[in-house]
Chains A and B, each alone.
Chain A
Amino acid sequence: MQFTFFHLMPYRPLDMAERHKHPTSWVMLPNKLYDPKKGADEYQSYIDQLVYAEKLGFDVIAVNEHHQTAYGIMPAPNLIAATLIARTTKAKIAIIGRALPLVNNPLNIAEEFAMLDNLSRGRLITGFVRGIGAEYHSTGINPSFSHERYQEAHDLIVQAWTKPGPTSFEGEHFNVRYVNIWPRPYQTPHPQIWIPSMGSSETVKWAAAPERKYPFLVTFSGRELVARYLNVYRDQAKQYGYEASPDQVGWASPVYVADTDERARKEAREGIESLFNDFLAIPFQMLLPPGYMSLPSMKNTMRMRKALGAQRRLTMEELMENGTVVVGSPKTVRDQLAKLRDETRAGKLVTMLQFGTLSDELTKRNMETFASEVMPHLR
């Protein structure tokens, strides 16, 4: 199994009483609540954690992109990646991902990734996402065209990486007369592209296509959904006439491990519950703006919501119960992860070992225990 240490970089010093005077940590939470001195400390801690993950033996260290939110203070993840490249030597550096539809010139993404690939001498892994619904409010990009823009931006970036330039690109949303990037990527044909997704059958189908075979990661989902989507990927690969390798499938999950189940639960609770309730919670109209999901998927989601009733605070126990988070002793954590790995034959695990308000001290202990007591057993 390949192990990734993934960071969202939440703004932990958030005043939660102030935060809850607003509906969400996204889009309109007043940025007065961000204190630059505390924020600078956060960056330092988080970068140190990512660098330490290499020492502990993680194969990949990973970051991602979010805008105008306390949930993650990384609107420009490539800047963090550049720092990580300078401070590490062998770990792969993953940016999973950049939100393609949110930019007006995807060539910038192709260029920056190519630079990072050169700077790291081929240690770069990229990820392509559409951004979260709230980011269509914070950038102004029309969600009606989210899928189209994603496809076109993807095609343009891959073309820039693989076709000897100059070429030209003619799309509905993006038109570039001269596609001819300097530098070209270090890796041939190009850095790996991972597709992190909450799961949608259209995305699975697209990622599994033989001309792409992009590794697919299910994020923030219970174990049943993880298994379902990874199996859809495998079935889809079979329909395309090939067997998906373990490298092509994986999932991402917050994990907390301590010497006993009881201690792990006690130490993880605040961080887990703040991640889901204080940082991630988003009102429906921000989470799913019109067009972000296809109309049929949206209709299903609306019916499910109607059946579920009003949203309320999630507890760590509920999240553990359905497997969205994994918390416990080394044995508990090993068993749960191994079970899902065996069920799905997944070869990639993306761990979030810092989550929500979890402190530096507990994060360090969690990372060390995971690296010594869990990782070797699952390799």
Chain B
Amino acid sequence: MPGTETKHKVRDVNVRMLRGGSGPPLLFLHGANGLPVWLPVFELLAKQFEVIVPEHPGFGTSDNPAWLRNIGDLAMYYLDFLDEFGPHEIHVVGQSLGGWAAAEAAVRNCSRIKTLSLLGPAGIRIKGMLSGDNFIWSPEEAVRNLYHNQDIPDQILAMQPTDEQADILLNNRFATAKFGWEPRWYNPSLERWLHRISVPTLIMWGKEDKLFPSAYAARWGERIAGSRVEIVPECGHVPAVEKPEITAKEIICLYAGTR
């Protein structure tokens, strides 16, 4: 059953949002490519959770508030989002840029977060281990380099985006550059505060990630006490798309450990 698209308002900002399933709430924060379609991984998670997938402010057709200038602003937005969502504790999952925003929110305040799952998150830098430069990749490379299984980019590249879709892609690219251009994909002070993340945490990384090397996973694991690091073989930067079964299984497993 596909998720339904709604509008969601936090303070003065309206965003697009997908939601589906029932159970405890799970907030999925998307990556730089924007709000995805209702993915198989959401379907799997929807059997256990109410899955909530907002489109970040500045992306797609969501509002683009003038105050949104850096990753800290996006993190604070999601703390507002969690506060206004109701009395629940929420399971938070973040992919890449979304993982960065989730970690930035969590180091500030974990009180509304039940578990945290970071899938190939941006946000820290290990000297000598350069990330890929998705801003200089050609449009084709930018799709191909995200996946290990090249059937996925073959399918994506075969589709001709409509003008409306092309505009959304461009909005996403503009929004992404604000957060990730400089310094490239990290916040110099995030790593030293990761110890403040005090909820059960999963770090998941595609072994063949060409954007952020999978060696980063161990560093995240060291910095967040009690976290579990899962390296997914034959998988690129987006485990949620490339390996939905493993991704859903691990997130559900993390949740099961809290019951």
Contact = CB atoms under 8 A, between A and B. Distances in A.
B171 interface: yes
A144 B167 contact: no
B85 interface: no
Contacts of B181: 136, 140, 142-144, 289-290
A286 B138 CA distance: 9
Contacts of B170: 290, 295, 298-299, 302
A142 B171 contact: no
Given A290-B176, A291-B178, 11 more contacts: A137-B135, A142-B177, A142-B178, A144-B181, A283-B138, A286-B136, A289-B177, A290-B170, A291-B174, A295-B170, A302-B170
A307 to B, nearest CB: 11
B151 interface: no
Contact of A285 (B135, B163, B167, B178): B135
Contacts of A137: 135-136
A27 interface: yes
Nearest to A294: B174
B136 A302 contact: no
Given A299-B167, A302-B166, A303-B163, A144 B136 contact: no
Contacts of B173: 290
Interface residues of B, number: 19
Nearest to B169: A302
Contacts of B138: 283, 285
Contacts of A143: 177, 181
Nearest to A286: B136
A252 B88 CA distance: 64
A295 B136 contact: no
A91 B86 CA distance: 72
A280 interface: no
A69 to B, nearest CB: 14
Contacts, number: 53
A141 interface: yes
A27 B136 contact: yes
The 8 lowest CB-CB distance pairs between A and B, nearest first, are A290-B177, A142-B181, A142-B182, A144-B178, A290-B174, A290-B173, A144-B177, A140-B182
Interface in B141-180: 142, 163, 166-167, 170-171, 173-174, 176-178
A289 B170 CA distance: 11
Nearest to B64: A295
The residue in B138, B176, B177 that gathers the most chain A C-beta atoms within 10 A of its C-beta is: B177
B177 to A, nearest CB: 4
B139 interface: yes
Contact of B135 (A28, A289, A295, A299): A289
A19 to B, nearest CB: 18
A323 B232 CA distance: 57
Contacts of A136: 181
Contacts of A299: 166-167, 170
A302 B184 CA distance: 25
Interface string A122-137: 0000000000000011
A137 B178 CA distance: 14
B157 to A, nearest CB: 15
Interface string A304-316: 0010000000000
B166 to A, nearest CB: 6
Contacts of A303: 163
B137 A285 contact: yes
Contacts of A295: 170-171, 174
Given A141-B182, A142-B182, A299-B170, A285 B139 contact: yes
